[in-house]
Amino acid sequence: MPLNLLADGFERGLYNSPYVWTAAKAAAIIGLVVLLKVYFEGAKCRSERVMHGKVVMVTGGTSGIGAAVVQELASRGAQIILLTHHAPSDPFLVDYIEDVRTLTNNELIYAEQVDLSSLHSIRLFATRWVDNAPPRRLDMIILCANVMTPYFGSGQITVDGLEAEWAINYLSTFHLLSILSPAIRAQPPDRDIRILFSTCSSYIGGQLDLKNTDVATKSGSTSFARSKLAVMTFAHAFQKHLDAYQRPDKQPNNARAFIIDPGYCRTPGTRRWLSGGLIWGLFFYLFTWPVWWLILKSPVQGAQSFLFAAMDAEYGRGSGGKMIKECREYKPLRPEVQNEDVAKQLWQFSEKQIEQLEKQGAVKRALAKKEAEQVNKKKGSDTTANANGQTSGGEKKATPGSRKSRKAK
């Protein structure tokens, strides 16, 4: 067929061929789609840094952008520690780790069970990490864990009584880094420590309202934007916290915090939000998938800014607190992000909220433990009584053939 078209074009002339304009239109459409796809894919990380020996702690590393970051860093030799709410023996987690080890030819991939919706779970893990002597090596912390209520969904409340977006997207990050701060500052001065915070352009429309963090909102977009604005504000404050520390060896601070905006990506969270958490919404998403394929990045493409901040040699020196998007530095569009008064207010509020919630959680756990002990004690007494031939009411059981059994008959 192509040969016939070429022959027809030579005989009649190129412009007289009946297929030339059809081919030109098709080529123009395909070219436009290719150009749009290249544009929406964004920048690509060109760093070739070797990560052998680096210890990287990752939240949200089992799906979406976090999984893409984990696979790339593991393929470069990094030791990965996944913080996940799954138990280490969970079949999904076991299979996932084995798959990543096989794909990256790297056996140094482990998992720690940490429920980011529980302040107590975060404290248990972080305290164990900090209490290790000598301090465990830690080169990087990548915070990719996020949750967002679907458009038609209802907000969720965590075990601590907090809004899910506020607790998981922001407060878990604050709590984790606050406890791990001594372990970060105890690293040798020649070590390049980087902490990567995940954000989203929705922070531009967010309001840092601290009054309703324990109320499930109907709008997931509003609460998500607030949590991202809080994360960015805390990132700048945490960088100043690290810079203010006076090391015993008199060396300058070697830990740097960066805020990463990966752009809009086709992650499971985005798909859930676009579908509204509904079955018919999922069908709508599948029907319009070519549009999302064109304008949204894949998780691998969304991971490029994370990889750039993690591996580029430029960010191993100088100051931290920078925002990176499309593998370039950007200035935050909200002044609250770099406002010291706002950061101080947010820091104090977060510390007070965590302290109050942990006290309440400790009381609940103590009561639950006491109740469980009473139940076990009662079961034990019943078992002992039954073994001695007593009924639950304290009366002796009638043994077959005894005088009491004959009277009962």
Cβ atoms 75, 154 nearer than 8 A: no
Range name among 367-371, 378-382, 405-409 with the lowest pLDDT average: 405-409
Backbone angles phi, psi at 246, to 5 degrees: -95, 110
Cβ atoms 140, 53 nearer than 8 A: no
Question: Is residue 4 pLDDT above 70, yes or no?
Answer: no
Backbone angles phi, psi at 269, to 5 degrees: -65, -40
The phi-psi region of residue 64 (left if phi > 0; otherwise alpha if psi is between -120 and 50; otherwise beta) is left
Residues 243 and 260: their CA atoms lie apart, in Å, by 20
What does the mean pLDDT of the chain come to?
Answer: 86
**Number of residues in the chain:** 409
* pLDDT of amino acid 29: 87
Q: What is the pLDDT of residues 164-217, one digit of tens each?
A: 899 999 999 999 999 999 999 999 998 999 999 999 998 998 888 888 787 766
Range name among 116-120, 149-153, 204-208, 338-342 with the lowest pLDDT average: 149-153
- pLDDT bin (cut points 50, 70, 90) of residue 318 is confident
Question: Is residue 403 pLDDT above 50, yes or no?
Answer: no
Q: What percent of the chain has pLDDT over 90?
A: 52
Q: What is the pLDDT of residues 34-86, one digit of tens each?
A: 898 888 888 899 888 888 989 999 999 999 999 999 999 999 999 999 999 99
Mean per-residue pLDDT, 324-339: 91
Predicted TM-score (pTM) of the model is 0.85
* pLDDT of amino acid 408: 44
Q: What percent of the chain has pLDDT over 70?
A: 87
Sign of CA dihedral 282, 283, 284, 288: positive
What lies within 8 Å, CB to CB, of 74 at 6+ separation is 80, 100, 101, 104, 106, 108, 109
Name the residues annotated as catalytic.
228
Structure tokens at 17: 């061929």
Q: What is the pLDDT of residues 230-265, one digit of tens each?
A: 999 999 999 999 999 998 888 988 999 999 999 999
Half-sphere exposure of 159 (CA within 13 A, CB side): 14
Question: Is residue 113 pLDDT above 70, yes or no?
Answer: yes
